[in-house]
Structure 1
Amino acid sequence: MKAIKAAFQHALAWPVLTLVLLIVLDVAHRASFLSISTFEGHLFGAPIDILNRAAPLVIVSLGMTLVIATRGIDISVGAVVAIAGATAATLLAADPTHVTQAVAAALAVGLIAGAWNGVLVAFVGMQPIIATLILMVAGRGVAQLLTDGQIIPIGAPDYLVLGGGFFARMPCAVWIAMAVTVATALLMSRTALGLFIRAIGVNPVATRLVGLRSSAIVFAVYVFSGLMAAVAGVLMSSNVRSADGNNAGLLLELDAILAVTLGGTSLNGGRFSLAGTVLGALIIQTLTYTTYSIGVPPEATLVVKAIVVLLVSVIQSERARALLVKQLKRAFSFAQAKPAGDVTEAAK
């Protein structure tokens, strides 16, 4: 009993349970949900499709996790995705052979965008939501200027492999997301950076007083978030074989914030979980797949997603769980204290 109680108190218990319940629902609706087949040496199936489509969200959410851990927020990641994709597509339209230059330019754009946010937040002292809102609005306009308001098709084969190709039977996007996740986890666990980020989130004033260069760390976190958004922009534009300055990455920032919070990262800063963030991204993508597969109308998908996120967030809240347990104990003790007839009469 104690082991079960300890398991449910683990930070990842509820995200794992939520993901398992969604998978059970999918299996109940379609028995072949977990089946994976091989075609031309590549793996196909619903689990592979979910992993492939969740890869960009996982990458963006990793950057968002570190930003939120410092008590910040970055609502410009969707616009940076659009700018990165538009930059790569514009260069490839001029010369499809310059794939390396196109990818490097897209990543550079992400670094510049992150540096812009970092300067405004860390050195100018602007509120994170306002600083990133500026780039969210302006960035979408920049992406549309780069594409001239049109959808630019991408035909460079080497570029299309990144988001739509396969390596060792698995989609390349999944491998890239795994590599980014492992690299970020090692950076946070094997260096003092993870501890510094947590310290800034807990008490930014105290970290400055003890001599920690908190402004430089906050700046670096926003640069990292911009870079992750650019990587996701490359994968998404490669997957759809085009760049759309208007719709690429639209509302992706909201899904990233949801993934981070579902994974147990505190919006108050100081506590974050990269593994939880990955689980949160998988929950969102699996939920999207589930709503479509069971026949939920597309216009109701966002409502269903919001309800599930609300329920999981409430369950994860220690205060909400304590209140629920208190009410259950009170109801149980009331039922124990009253005779059956009195309980029936009270119910009437």
Structure 2
Amino acid sequence: MKPVRALVRHQLVWPAITLVLLILLDVAHRASFLSVTVLDGHLFGAPIDILNRAAPLVMVSLGMTLVIATRGIDISVGATVAIAGAAAAIILEADPSRVGMALGAAIAVGLLAGMWNGLLVALVGMQPIIATLILMVAGRGVAQLLTGGQIIPIGAPGYLRLGDGYLAMVPCSVWIAVVVTLALALLVNRTALGLFVRSIGVNPVATRLVGLRSGAIVFGVYVICGLMAALAGIIASSNVRSADGNNAGLLLELDAILAVTLGGTSLLGGRFSLGGTVLGALIIQTLTYTTYSIGVPPEATLVVKAIVVVAVSVIQSEVARALVVRQVKHLLTPARERASTGTSPS
């Protein structure tokens, strides 16, 4: 029973099962769902489309994971996505050849946004949700000021390749998300950063008393989160070939938080999983695709998403896991042994 109990309690099991169930639902609705073909030298199919659309969410969610692991939250990532896309679009509108400058401006926006949030949280001592709420509100206004309230078209081929281009028949955005995920995983697992983040999330007071500069670590994770949001803004604006200060990244912070929690990261801090976050982002994007493909009205999509999130969250709770372990143990115990020991399903 120990292997079964360990498997049930593994934080990646339930997100993986949820993703598989969604895929099976899509296959049942459309048998060709998993089919991938080559069209004009590119891979084409529903799985490729889901991976492509999930790339910005994956990057934002990875940054959010580290923030939540330190008992924080960043609800300004959607606004940062909008500002980054707007900054790049303004430069490209003046000169489409300045792709490097546009990318640098977008990344600088993300770093400044992360530094601002980190300054308010780590040094000033503001509550994370209040500190990032400031940028969430003001940042959306800044994005609209930069774009003049208009949608700025982007026509620079070098920039557009990042969002809708292909490399080795796979969308460039997917490659970028993979590289970012691997880089962040190496940073967390091959350096002391992961240990420091976990220790701050478990007990920030004790961490400070043993001499760890917890303020610098918290400041750093907000900077990383801002950088991830900027990269997502580049991909998103490149994918739609425009910058929209009003709608770009709208409600993205909510999807990112959902992806993090679905992946098994604790909102109480300390426990996090980058792999689980990637699964959570894929769950959300697959769920969005599923609701549209089976004919769920757009206005009911958020309700369906909420139901799935509640179901997965309940399953991931310790009480639900203990109940599953007891039921599995009961089913695997021979009837004669149950009768002799008086074991019951409850």
Aligned to 1:208: 208
In structure 2, give the amino acid aligned to 1:80: T
- Normalising by structure 2, report the TM-score: 0.93
| Runs of at least 4 residues off by over 4 Å | 323-329
Q: CA shift at 1:5, angstroms?
A: 3.5
Q: Tell me which residue corresponds to 1:66.
A: 66
Q: Distance in 2 between matches of 1:85 and 1:325?
A: 48
Matched, 1:218 2:191: no
Mapped contact 2:4–2:325 kept (Cα < 8 A): no
Q: Which residue of structure 2 aligns with residue 79 of structure 1?
A: 79
SS in 1 for 2:296: coil
| 1:162 matched residue in structure 2 | 162
TM-score when normalising by structure 1: 0.93
- Residue type matched to 1:120 in 2? L
Counterpart of 2:152 in 1: which secondary structure? strand
Alignment of 1:286-305 (within 5 A): 286-305=286-305
- Corresponding residue for 1:133? 133
User: Aligned partners of 2:213, 2:2: CA distance in 1, in Å?
Assistant: 43
The SS at the match of 2:243 is strand
- What residue in structure 1 maps to residue 113 of structure 2? 113
Aligned to 1:342: none
What is the identity, as a one-letter code, of the residue corresponding to 2:93? A
For 2:222, the aligned partner's letter is Y
Q: Give the partner amino acid of 1:169.
A: M
SS at match of 2:212: coil
The Cα offsets for residues 218-271 of structure 1, whole Å up to 9 and x where unpaired, read as 000000000000000000000000000000000000000000000000000000
| Cα distance in 1 for residues equivalent to 2:228 and 2:325 | 40
Q: Determine the structure 2 residue equivalent to 1:22.
A: 22
| Other structure's SS at 2:290 match | helix
SS at match of 2:11: coil
> What is the aligned partner in structure 2 of residue 313 from structure 1?
313
| Matching residue's letter, 2:98 | H
The alignment partner of 1:15 has SS state of helix
Query: Cα deviations across residues 139-185 of structure 1 (Å, max 9, x unaligned)?
Result: 00000000000000000000000011000110000000000000000
Aligned residue in 2 for 1:35: 35
CA distance in 2, matches of 1:181, 1:115: 21
**Post-superposition offset of 1:8:** 1.9
CA–CA distance in structure 1, aligned partners of residues 59 and 219 of structure 2: 19
The one-letter amino acid of 2:150's match is Q
Q: For the residues of structure 2 that align with 1:192 and 1:324, how far apart are their CA atoms?
A: 35
Separation (CA, whole Å) in 1 of partners of 2:203 and 2:296: 44
SS state at 1:43 partner:
strand
How many percent of aligned residue pairs carry the same amino acid? Answer: 80
Whole-Å separation in 2 of the counterparts to 1:9 and 1:229: 31
CA–CA distance in structure 2, aligned partners of residues 324 and 54 of structure 1: 31
Q: Residue 31 of structure 1 aligns to a residue in which SS?
A: coil
Which whole-Å CA distance do the structure 2 matches of 1:194 and 1:6 have between them? 23
Query: How many Å separate the matches in 2 of 1:271 and 1:121?
Result: 20
Q: Which residue of 1 aligns with 2:48?
A: 48
CA distance in 1: counterparts of 2:104 and 2:92, whole angstroms? 12
Where do residues 321-332 of structure 1 align in structure 2 (5 Å cutoff)?
321-322=321-322
| Equivalent residue letter for 2:44 | F
**Corresponding residue pairs, total:** 332
Listed as ranges, the matches of 1:138-287 within 5 Å are: 138-287=138-287
Equivalent residue number for residue 345 of structure 1: none
How far the C-alpha of 1:40 sits from its partner, in A, is: 1.6
What is the Cα deviation at residue 273 of structure 1? 0.1
After TM superposition, give the deviation of residue 97 of structure 1 in Å.
Answer: 0.2
Q: Give the C-alpha shift of residue 302 in structure 1.
A: 0.3
Query: Residue by residue, what CA displacement relative to the aligned partner does 1:62-109 show, whole Å, maximum 9, x if unpaired?
Result: 000000000000000000000000000000000000000000100001
